[in-house]
Chain A
Amino acid sequence: MTDMAVETTTSSEPLPRTKTDWLPLLLVPALALLALPFIGSGSTWVTLTVAGLAMGMMIFLMASGLTLVFGLMDIINFGHGVFISLGAYATLIVLGPLAGWGQADSVWLNLGLLFLCIVVAMAVTGVVGAVFERVIVRPVYGSHLKQILVTMGGLIVAEQAIHAIWGASPIPLQLPQTLRGAFVIGDIVMERYRVVAVCIGLVVFIGMQLLLNRTRIGLLIRAGVENPEMVEALGYRIRRLFVSVFVAGSALAGLGGVMWAFYRQTLTAGMGMEVMVLVFIVIIIGGLGSVGGCFVGSILVALVANYVGFLEPKLALISNILVMALVLIWRPQGLFPVARR
């Protein structure tokens, strides 16, 4: 990519100010601080916050691909949950032959196993994503109603396929040996796997930000989210970009599925569908098409769910909807509205 250096000349005309939008970013620490006095105990607060962050990262992994697919292609893909379930089940391909790695008392073998599960799951969901795009999504470009119906159909077929391949009953999944249990520091308890999930989520988020902001393909994706027609008028074949983003989005859902599966320690074909409500909530909160918004939205929803679940369990179920309603009252287009034509 070019680095065109242009010296900035001084002039009497005032420079327009850059509008960096910090407010939504402040929501997360503000919420965490606000919750502290209600929860009272500092150590409980840390535990809940880490749990919320971990859950938020997993939701982000599952949702980030969908928000890009929606932003770039204007496709409503109800079938996205399939890739979450499929990614989760794909761990079995690795766990079958390499079960020993999971029982070994070695952090490296355990993490290696998790890593392999992720790689295989992403490969499987990426390939299935490419087929799904070609067979199911491509014929219904431009019509939201058809997209909803057809991708729902795809979802049902894919869930049945999972039943056919891996059976209809839930399959228990064991965390690798050293990832079980918790880190205990003083009276603070942090489940190990949650810490791992936070790290993986952060790495993926930073990677996506670098890709979107520092590479030509990232520029194209951002430009395409804003105005696909103009991207084409500059000579780019946006169809190829669509397909790549769809495949990448499916693979990310697969990655989220792996993380989610080890968290729940059970596999069910419907597990992807179950989290889709949350996924849709966070991409709406974040602003359709915004990866940063999806990240903040995921953490917000998950933190609230954890705090409320502790303080007022009866409200836990509706807390997500409440967060969404409040955010949309504040910003009807979501936290980071993406400009469109």
Chain B
Amino acid sequence: MAEPLLQLSGVHTHIGPYHILHGVDFAIPAGQLTMLLGRNGAGKTTTLRTIMGLWQASSGAIRFDGQDITKNSTPNIARAGIGYVPESMAIFTDLTVRENIVLAARSGPVDSARLDWMLGLFPALKRFWNLPAGNLSGGQKQMLAIARAIAEPRRLLLIDEPTKGLAPVMVRSMIEAFKALKAAGETILLVEQNFYAASALGDNVIVMDDGRIVHSGAMREMVEDKNLQQRLLGLSLDAHQ
């Protein structure tokens, strides 16, 4: 089997005095969508931030595309080709939608084909193009945050809970957008609480609990195995359907 695009081996992360990640191991194969599930406080966000270098892993190794990026700075990790959509979205509210996108395309102007593709995924952005992004609704901000991550070609997208707080209709259009990204061949690591959304999208699934990986495998396997769902995800399964 080919080397996975991203590989975490025994990653520990401390935030100040707190030991948050306790030896996280997983691999993300290229060209697939991997879901990262787990209850609140399991360490999903911390895992993504550690990959981005926003927290420094205290031990263990993170390999991306054959390179050890464990000790790299955040800008260098981004430049290696990782796009990041944080849980807080972190859009620049003072900048217009257009300026947010311009800034996200670091290596040069967005070509028109890519722009059309992006705005085809998120048509709402087109209408608010020259408005300060702070004026957007929550769902539109989320779209902008994702559009920013794909404003230039990336090797891997890390997306943290994009459906959090969205109305069901918005969740559905978000799922459609991810299907389109998948079809375009993007490699995605997606954190999701919503198992309905997760099962509709994921090729693979990783489940975290208490800073550790407690399960990883094919999504299909998990969808078929109700016991596994019950054991790993508990009530969250029913709560979100």
- Closest chain B CB from A256 CB (angstroms): 25
Instruction: Give the docked Cα–Cα distance between A216 and B136 (Å).
Output: 22
B227, CB-defined interface residue at 8 Å = no
Of A133-141, A171-179, A189-197, A226-234, the one with at least 4 CB within 8 A of chain B: A226-234
- Is A18 an interface position by the 8 A CB rule? yes
Per-residue CB proximity of B64-79 to A under 8 Å, as 1/0? Answer: 0000000001110011
Which of B52, B123, B135 is close to A16, meaning CB atoms less than 8 Å apart? B135
Are B135's CB and A233's CB within 8 A? no
Contacting pair B135 A235 (CB below 8 A): no
Could you mark each residue 210-240 of chain A with 1 if its beta carbon is under 8 Å from any beta carbon of chain B, else 0?
0000001001101101110111111111100
Assess A2 versus B128: contact at CB under 8 Å? Given A219-B103, A232-B78: no
In the complex, the answer to whether A15 meets B128 with C-beta atoms within 8 Å is: yes
Binds A, one of B17-25, B34-42, B105-113: B105-113
B221 within 8 A of A: no
Q: What is the minimal beta-carbon distance from A231 to any residue of chain B, in angstroms?
A: 8
Partner of B78, one of A17, A227, A234: A234
Chain B residues contacting A230 (CB-CB under 8 Å) are 86, 90, 92
Q: Which residue of A lies closest to B148 (CB)?
A: A234
Question: With A2-B109, A223-B95, A226-B92 as given contacts, are A234 and B104 in contact (CB-CB < 8 Å)?
Answer: yes
Q: Give the A-B contact count at a CB cut-off of 8 A.
A: 101
Asked if A4 is at the interface (CB within 8 A of a chain B CB), the reply is yes
B88: chain A residues at CB < 8 Å are: 341
Q: Does A92 sit at the interface, judged by CB under 8 A?
A: no
Return the contact of B129 from the options A6, A219, A227, A339 (Cβ within 8 A): A6
**Is A233's CB under 8 angstroms from B52's CB?**
yes
Contacts of A227 in B (CB 8 A): 90, 92
Whether A19 contacts B135 in the complex (CB less than 8 A), given A6-B115, A223-B95, A229-B90, comes out as yes
- Residues B47-61 near A (CB distance < 8 A): 52, 54
A9 to chain B, nearest CB (A): 6
Do A219 and B95 touch (CB < 8 A)? yes
Q: Which of A6-42 contact B (CB under 8 A)?
A: 6-9, 11, 13, 15-19
Contact with A along B112-139 (1 / 0, CB 8 A): 1001000100010011110110111100
Question: Does A150 count as interface, using CB distance less than 8 angstroms?
Answer: no
- Contact call B75/A229, Cβ cutoff below 8 A: no
**Is the pair B93, A15 in contact by a Cβ cutoff of 8 Å?**
no
Task: Give the shortest distance, in Å, between B15 (CB) and chain A (any CB).
Answer: 14
Cα separation A331 to B127 with both chains bound (whole Å): 32
Minimum CB–CB distance for B111 against chain A, Å: 10
Query: How close is B144's CB to chain A, nearest CB, in angstroms?
Result: 12
Residue A1, interface by CB 8 Å: yes
Choose among A17, A234, A341 the residue that contacts B103 (Cβ–Cβ < 8 A).
A234
A220 CA to B134 CA in the complex, in Å?
17
1/0 per residue B151-172: CB within 8 Å of A? 0000000000000000000000
- C-alpha gap A236/B103 in the complex (Å): 10
Determine whether B177 belongs to the interface, using a CB cutoff of 8 Å to chain A.
no
Nearest CB in chain A to that of B115: its residue? A4
Q: Which residue of B lies closest to A338 (CB)?
A: B94
Task: Enumerate chain B residues within 8 angstroms of A216, measured Cβ to Cβ.
Answer: 102-103
The residues of A that contact B129 with a CB separation of less than 8 Å are 6, 8
Say if the beta carbon of B210 comes within 8 Å of chain A: no
A225 to B52, CA, bound (A): 20
Kindly report which residue of chain A lies nearest to residue B85, judged by CB atoms. Answer: A233
Q: Give Cα A222 to B134, complex, Å.
A: 13
A9 touches B93 (CB 8 A): no
B203 within 8 A of A: no
Q: In the bound complex, what is the Cα–Cα distance between A255 and B143 (angstroms)?
A: 44
Would B54 and A339 count as touching, CB distance under 8 A?
no
Task: Decide if B131 touches A233 in the complex (CB within 8 Å).
Answer: no
Tell me the minimal C-beta distance from A291 to chain B in angstroms: 12
> How far is the CB of A232 from the nearest CB of chain B, in Å?
4
Q: Which B residues are CB-close (under 8 A) to A19?
A: 132, 134-135
10 A-B residue pairs with Cβ-Cβ distance under 8 Å, sorted by A, are A4-B109, A4-B112, A6-B126, A11-B127, A13-B127, A15-B131, A18-B131, A219-B95, A225-B94, A230-B90
Known contacts A16-B136, A19-B135, A233-B86; 5 further A-B pairs (Cβ under 8 A):
A1-B109, A4-B101, A4-B102, A223-B94, A235-B78
Nearest 3 interchain pairs by C-beta: A235-B78, A2-B109, A230-B90
Interface residues of B (CB under 8 A from A): 52, 54, 73-75, 78-79, 84, 86, 88, 90, 92-95, 98-99, 101-106, 109-110, 112, 115, 119, 123, 126-129, 131-132, 134-137, 148
Residues of A within 8 A of B (CB): 1-2, 4, 6-9, 11, 13, 15-19, 216, 219-220, 222-223, 225-227, 229-238, 338-339, 341
